[in-house]
């Protein structure tokens, strides 16, 4: 199944469609997404083959802006035209919150956009827009902390995860079947990964909602860095009405303050 109909040789038509769609994506990326740190996959890799991520993005962007849900199976079949041995495509998920494209996943309970039909299955993806980054995307800010400096930080924490306490090289407290690996983690994901903003976390604590929370020096959650957990708590009914009202009042007060500061 080709992206567009054509009377040319099938593979020639497919290649033209891929390159034209990629050109559209690149133009939108340069105008709207590049400044946000969104990563555009290369169209070609060594050997002159299309990259799998580029193929996935092109397939999701076909007919843009009138995009549709794409199942994981459909995405896999498309990529198999160039990589016949492919059995499990993860690009739809990786291109979203990890690399910054506004791709909804049916597995993650995203709010489905009005005017679009519901996803066709449990594993489906929808490229919502090329003019905004994914709301949960946080560009990587590695900083310049050297490995020897991180060793000193780990020593300060007795080679334990600041959040769960699992010791490096030993069985993880939360996942006893796994060996603990300590990673450099942000205390605040909006600040570069350097200096006092670095704490050691195991691979599991560093992975779970790492862009949602602000941690203190002991690895305890002391704030939110994203609206996502708040919105989820409201949707799930975990946040009582009186707490929601507090949020509403605080946000209104903040916005009024901003308006006064900006002046007439």
Q: pLDDT tens-digit profile of 184-221?
A: 998 998 888 888 899 999 999 988 666 789 999 888 99
Radius of gyration from C-alpha coordinates of the chain: 22
The predicted-structure confidence for 119-134, as pLDDT tens digits, reads as follows 776 788 999 999 999 8
- Beta-carbon contacts of 116 under 8 Å, excluding residues fewer than 6 positions away, are 68, 69, 126
Q: Which two tokens stand for residue 166?
A: 């699992």
DSSP annotation of 192 reads: -
Sign of CA dihedral 72, 77, 79, 85: positive
Residue with tokens 């990964």: 193
Domain ranges of the chain: 10-133, 147-222, 228-262
CA distances to 104, 209, 251 from 228, in Å: 14, 10, 16
| Least-confidence region, from 150-159, 210-219, 230-239 | 210-219
| Least-confidence region, from 55-64, 93-102, 223-232 | 93-102
- Beta-carbon contacts of 39 under 8 Å, excluding residues fewer than 6 positions away, are 99, 100
Residue 51, pLDDT > 60, answer: yes
Q: Write down the pLDDT at residue 111.
A: 55
Residue with tokens 């769609």: 21
Q: Write down the pLDDT at residue 6.
A: 47
Quickly state the pLDDT bin for 264 (edges 50, 70, 90). low
Separation CA 29–CA 36 (nearest Å)? 10
Residue 35, pLDDT > 50, answer: yes
> What element of type H or E holds 216?
none
Quickly state the pLDDT bin for 148 (edges 50, 70, 90). low
- Contact status, residue 21 vs residue 61, Cβ threshold 8 Å: yes
Nearest alpha carbon to residue 62 among 133, 134, 4:
4
Helix ranges (H only) for the chain are 10-28, 52-61, 72-79, 91-93, 147-156, 203-207, 228-236, 241-262
The predicted-structure confidence for 62-108, as pLDDT tens digits, reads as follows 889 999 999 889 989 998 888 888 877 777 778 887 788 999 888 75
Q: Write down the pLDDT at residue 10.
A: 55
- Contact status, residue 196 vs residue 150, Cβ threshold 8 Å: no
pTM given for the model: 0.53
Residue 7, pLDDT > 50, answer: no
Q: Write down the pLDDT at residue 1.
A: 37
Q: Write down the pLDDT at residue 108.
A: 58
Separation CA 220–CA 48 (nearest Å)? 48
Residue with tokens 């397939």: 59
Q: Write down the pLDDT at residue 239.
A: 93
- Contact status, residue 211 vs residue 217, Cβ threshold 8 Å: no
């Amino acid at each position: 199944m080709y992206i567009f109909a054509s009377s040319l040789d099938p593979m020639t038509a497919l290649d033209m469609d891929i390159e034209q769609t990629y050109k559209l994506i690149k133009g939108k990326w340069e105008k709207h997404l590049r400044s946000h740190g969104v990563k555009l996959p290369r169209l070609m890799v060594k050997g002159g083959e299309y990259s799998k991520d580029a193929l996935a993005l092109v397939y999701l962007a076909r007919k843009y802006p009138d995009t549709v849900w794409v199942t994981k199976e459909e995405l896999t079949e498309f990529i198999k035209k160039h990589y016949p041995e492919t059995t499990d495509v993860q690009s739809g998920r990786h291109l979203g919150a990890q690399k910054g494209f506004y791709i909804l996943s049916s597995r993650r309970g995203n709010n489905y956009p009005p005017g679009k039909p519901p996803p066709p299955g449990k594993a489906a993806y929808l490229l919502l827009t090329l003019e905004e980054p994914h709301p949960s995307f946080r560009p990587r800010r590695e900083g310049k902390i050297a490995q020897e400096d991180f060793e000193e930080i780990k020593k300060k924490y007795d080679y334990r995860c600041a959040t769960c306490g699992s010791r490096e090289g030993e069985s993880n407290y939360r996942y006893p079947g796994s060996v603990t690996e300590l990673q450099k983690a942000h205390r605040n994901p909006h600040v570069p990964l350097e200096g006092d903003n670095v704490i050691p976390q195991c691979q599991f604590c560093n992975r779970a909602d790492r862009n949602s929370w602000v941690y203190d020096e002991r690895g305890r959650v002391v704030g939110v860095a994203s609206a996502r957990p708040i919105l989820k708590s409201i949707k799930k009914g975990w946040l009582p009405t009186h707490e929601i009202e507090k949020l509403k009042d605080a946000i209104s007060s903040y916005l009024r303050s901003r308006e006064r500061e900006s002046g007439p």
